[in-house]
Amino acid sequence: MHNPAIAHHIAQNTGPLLQMRDVRQSFPKPDGGELLVLDGVQLTVQEGEIIGLLGRSGSGKSTLLRLIAGLSMPTAGEITYLGTPVTGPAQGIAMVFQSFALFPWMTVIENVQIGLKALGLPEEEIRSRALGAIDMIGLDGFESAYPRELSGGMRQRVGFARALVVHPNILLMDEPFSALDVLTAETLRTDFIDLWSEGQMPIKAVILVTHNIEEAIFMCDRVLIFSSNPGRITSEIRIDMPHPRDRLDPVFAELVERTYVAMTVQAGRQRPTTGAGRSDHLPGAGIGIMLPQAEINDLAGLIEVLDSPLYDGRADLPILAHSLRMAVDDLFPLAETLQMLRLADIEGGDIQLTPAGREFAQAGVDDRKRIFHRHLLAYCPLAAHICRVLDQRSMHKAPITRFLNELEDHMSPEAARQTLHVVIGWGRYAEAFAYNGHDQYLSLENPS
């Protein structure tokens, strides 16, 4: 324990490590309105637990971690760390990011030592601690390598070492495995859990943000499910399986299924109950929602499978994923998209085609496009918005930067680009609008 004040606190402290009460976070929008990102968040972190935060992109998970780390202050509510209100960066809390965030001009050991410089420790201790962290996380022998010489998995190990070297009480991890390839990610998860179970890591609790259900069940003691717009914690799944966990264990599969159900019940509740698509008559309303990565071919394929005699329009999502040999985490964005477009309903872990979805399944190419066009403009506010803007322009054309800038008021530049990519794919299929990759202009397909 490097910090005597905190050491003293821990010794005295019998309560939770961290507590959040009624936390709310909103951001001012450029147009003067408020973007409500988190609302009514309650969270208690006890010593010894790994907590998972599971939710869609844009649901406020990173925002929540920043609040916990003391990097920003909530709009309302209270956050206490070891019983004391968080008013700035807390010393016993460290973070691992998705992007490795290493300094390219520094060696591995220099990158790891950065975490310690601020603590004002003697040079010798800085070095021995850094070597210890490097050793523990499996980077032995790479101390003097530069980041560019390392694979993605090794770079992320440096990210872990840099966070662990300060011996934080709470380790925050923001989708730390999602930029890695499948096998590297699995190795790193397994190594992390081994070190944790053996009590080798100098940390007391972990908060892991992820949008991968299986990862959450593999690693966490409990998983909190986040809704979007605004982000709230809507349910909690406890995982009592001992480590190491076996993904093929029926108990594991059952937990994945339960988590699915919890997420899909939530998705059902989030549906607007008023007249479908009303909001898209208000310019700009509802356009700032991140769209799931769902290609039209996959959407059509899913509709066909659901319509087949085997399912007759209705299927249990995890069973369907299993029979399609898809990870449930890959099927989910497709299911959500069909729900958004009212081509299917999701309820309690089941997906069911709507009458329009069944009509689509049985239609020929042109009728499919017509049905998709109708639903796209009625239920995807962004697509309707793009058509409206193009329609109002003299040449019925606009550069995509016009829409990218607008989306960036609601989401990160990367999310904006992805969302626009998705909606362009749908719009092209529906023959609603066309996109020219050369001049990067969108144009209306059939100007009225």
Residues at the contact surface with ligand ADP, assessed by CB under 6 A: 27, 35, 37, 55, 57-63, 410-412
Closer residue to Mg ion in complex, CB, 62/227: 62
Closer residue to Mg ion in complex, CB, 57/339: 57
| Contact of residue 27 among Mg ion, ligand ADP, none (CB under 5-8 Å per partner type) | ligand ADP
Closer residue to ligand ADP in complex, CB, 187/412: 412
Shortest Å, Cβ 175 to ligand ADP: 8
Shortest Å, Cβ 359 to Mg ion: 37
Closer residue to ligand ADP in complex, CB, 29/247: 29
Contact present, 351 and 319 (Cβ < 8 Å): no
Contact present, 130 and 113 (Cβ < 8 Å): yes
Shortest Å, Cβ 62 to Mg ion: 3
| Contact of residue 147 among ligand ADP, Mg ion, none (CB under 5-8 Å per partner type) | none
Among 442, 343, 424, CA closest to 383 = 424
- SS3 state of residue 60: coil
Q: Which stretch binds Mg ion (CB under 5 A): 54-62, 88-96, 150-158, 312-320?
A: 54-62
Shortest Å, Cβ 179 to Mg ion: 12
Which residue has the CB atom at the shortest distance from Mg ion?
62
Shortest Å, Cβ 55 to ligand ADP: 6
Cα→Cα distances 367→374, 387, 427, Å: 11, 20, 15
Shortest Å, Cβ 416 to ligand ADP: 9
Structure tokens at 257: 């299924």
Shortest Å, Cβ 329 to ligand ADP: 15
Shortest Å, Cβ 67 to Mg ion: 13
Closer residue to ligand ADP in complex, CB, 298/409: 409
Structure tokens at 9: 């606190």
Q: Which of 62, 228, 259, 266 binds Mg ion (CB under 5 A)?
A: 62
Shortest Å, Cβ 68 to ligand ADP: 12
Contacts of 71 (CB under 8 A, 6+ apart): 89
Closer residue to Mg ion in complex, CB, 167/211: 211
Closer residue to ligand ADP in complex, CB, 19/229: 229
| Contact of residue 410 among Mg ion, ligand ADP, none (CB under 5-8 Å per partner type) | ligand ADP
Q: Which stretch binds Mg ion (CB under 5 A): 6-14, 55-63, 221-229, 394-402?
A: 55-63
| Contact of residue 315 among Mg ion, ligand ADP, none (CB under 5-8 Å per partner type) | none
State the distance between the two ends of the chain, measured CA to CA, in whole angstroms: 71
Q: Does 228 bind Mg ion (CB under 5 A)?
A: no
Among 177, 372, 358, CA closest to 294 = 372
Contact present, 39 and 231 (Cβ < 8 Å): yes
Task: Name all contacts of 10-17 with Cβ < 8 Å and 24+ positions apart.
Answer: 10/82, 10/169, 13/82, 13/83, 15/82, 15/83, 16/44, 16/45, 16/46, 16/47, 17/45, 17/46, 17/47, 17/81, 17/82, 17/169, 17/170, 17/204, 17/205
Contact present, 116 and 130 (Cβ < 8 Å): yes
Closer residue to ligand ADP in complex, CB, 27/97: 27
Instruction: Tell me the C-alpha distance between 286 and 374, whole Å.
Output: 18
Q: Using CB under 5 A, which residues numbered 133 to 192 contact Mg ion?
A: none
Closer residue to ligand ADP in complex, CB, 30/104: 30
Structure tokens at 304: 């066909």
**Which residues form the interface with Mg ion (CB under 5 A)?**
62
